[in-house]
Structure 1
Amino acid sequence: MMMKRNAEQILARIHQSCDKVSRDIQEVCPIVVTKNRTNEEIQEVYSLGFRHFAENRVEKLLERQEAFPQDDIVWHLIGPLQKRKVKQIVNRIQYFHAIDRLSIMEEIEKRLESPLKCFLEVNVSGEESKHGFTTKEVFEAFEVAKQYANIDIIGLMTMAPFDASEEEIRQYFHELKEITENIDSEKSLQLSMGMSQDYPIAIEEGAHFIRIGTAWFEEEE
């Protein structure tokens, strides 16, 4: 019951945020981040109709795929990827959210058997502990990615600092949106941003993919 109630609350908040800025709710894809959750919990979310699932580590994602072999699940890798693990995972996911350096692109391209939807990770806040391109480097990274036939850069990803204020979070997300509008792209770029604590703000600032973990599974304090 709790998970069903949580899911209903998440969908209600997505609706509210979309209505607030006159967006179509179909533009927003909620991703279920399964980090540290049991297979039973994941099965319950799946039974509620959600199909986009994510892990931030290669080993855990492969384990999840073994536990959930359903072919209607869309798998997202949302954490950093080491070169030595590229071949294990890139042909088993539909989205990779964390291209965070130029050196990883060549290895991904070399291992891909078909196009993979990818996001360039941008460290908008400038935190030293965060991965990703700076807000200046991302323009070069986007141009470099164009040479690779199977790396399909569909947008940009960022994370706000956990202790940031609402005003700061909104500023970071808004800046990422502005970057997408200034990148020389033939298509409209999408935004992967927003987690359990800040996804309503992310939606208001243009997020297309929101990466939600604890809000599915735990009671709010």
Structure 2
Amino acid sequence: MTERHELPDPARRDELAENLAKVEERIAAACAAAGRKREEVTLVVVTKTYPASDVRLLYELGVRNVAENRDQDAAPKAAACADLDLQWHFVGQLQTNKVRSVLGYSDVVQSVDRMKLVTALSSAAVRAGREVGCLIQVALDAETGARGERGGVAPGGTEELATAIEGSAGLRFDGLMTVAPLVGPYAGRQRAAFDRLMEISADLRVGHPAANMVSAGMSTDLEEAVAAGATHVRVGTAVLGVRPRLG
């Protein structure tokens, strides 16, 4: 039996169109419930292990923001789609030895979580002659010491990183990102987690008023993120289906 991600292009396009429409309905309904305008929330489709052909189909369907979390998947895919007017987001934990490659295609790095990475990103951006947007990934579980495995900096470390990003050539501080914690006091309490992220964002914007991007919420909890005030939601499975296994 043909797997879903291997369907011929016309069938795959129909599948993606149907899934995308359902996600758009969810975002629109969440915005309406929160008293927000639909245009206040940007959908970023996380394509991960899916092929460049899916990115092209998504582009045909109106998607302009796509995200990846592994450079080995992203670099060849971005190269294959270089002719498309897309904004690429890198959302995975980023090692410094991958920074130069990632900055070859990424417009926004959403997972900045340490000074060493800020330095490496700045050097690579200057070398490439471009400006790259940066989001600080906040580990909300680290606030109480119950650190999970999703990366990020504790809320208390955001101001120092924000100041470093703003003072680094080639970088632009755009805001914050989080993934709902699996452990600690926010486990299973996505809305509370996203409300806390919005509080941290508001505090940071006192000194960094342009950093108003808040990336939160995925396929299972985008409504909670929109209700809290997120400006960007990162959706993979709900648009593309269950990811094929690697290897």
User: TM-score, normalised on structure 1?
Assistant: 0.91
- Separation (CA, whole Å) in 1 of partners of 2:237 and 2:84: 25
Task: Answer yes or no: is 1:129 the counterpart of 2:129.
Answer: no
- Separation (CA, whole Å) in 1 of partners of 2:203 and 2:36: 21
Determine the structure 1 residue equivalent to 2:18: 5
SS state at 1:130 partner: coil
- Separation (CA, whole Å) in 2 of partners of 1:86 and 1:2: 34
SS state at 2:226 partner: helix
Out of 65-74 and 111-120, give the one that drifted further.
65-74
Bigger RCO (CA 8 Å, 6+ sep): 1
| Contact in 2 for aligned 1:121/1:156 (Cα 8 Å) | yes
Q: Which has the higher helix share?
A: 2
Structure 1 residues not aligned, in runs of 5+ = none
SS state at 1:161 partner: coil
SS state at 1:125 partner: helix
Q: Aligned in 2, Cα 1:86/1:207: closer, same or farther, shift over 3 Å?
A: same
Task: Answer yes or no: is 1:181 the counterpart of 2:202.
Answer: yes
- Separation (CA, whole Å) in 1 of partners of 2:24 and 2:110: 22
Determine the structure 1 residue equivalent to 2:110: 97
| Contact in 1 for aligned 2:134/2:165 (Cα 8 Å) | no
- Equivalenced residue count is 217
Letter aligned with residue 221 of structure 2: D
| Contact in 2 for aligned 1:118/1:155 (Cα 8 Å) | yes
User: TM-score, normalised on structure 2?
Assistant: 0.82
Q: Percent identical across equivalent pairs?
A: 27
Give 1:91 shift.
3.9
- Separation (CA, whole Å) in 1 of partners of 2:78 and 2:208: 33
Task: Answer yes or no: is 1:151 the counterpart of 2:171.
Answer: yes
Letter aligned with residue 21 of structure 1: A
| Contact in 2 for aligned 1:6/1:217 (Cα 8 Å) | yes
Determine the structure 1 residue equivalent to 2:40: 27
Task: Answer yes or no: is 1:118 the counterpart of 2:134.
Answer: yes
Q: Aligned in 2, Cα 1:92/1:218: closer, same or farther, shift over 3 Å?
A: closer
- The 5-angstrom pairing of residues 1-221 of structure 1 reads 1-112=14-125, 113-126=129-142, 127-161=147-181, 164-165=187-188, 168-183=189-204, 184-218=207-241
Q: Aligned in 2, Cα 1:140/1:89: closer, same or farther, shift over 3 Å?
A: same
- Separation (CA, whole Å) in 2 of partners of 1:11 and 1:41: 18
- Separation (CA, whole Å) in 1 of partners of 2:176 and 2:114: 13
* TM-align CA RMSD: 1.7
Runs (4+) off by over 4 Å: none
Out of 201-210 and 122-131, give the one that drifted further.
122-131
Letter aligned with residue 162 of structure 2: F
How far does the alpha carbon of each residue in 1:60-103 deviate from its partner, in whole angstroms, 9 at most, with x for none? 11111122222311111111211111112214221110001111
SS state at 1:136 partner: helix
| Contact in 1 for aligned 2:140/2:181 (Cα 8 Å) | no
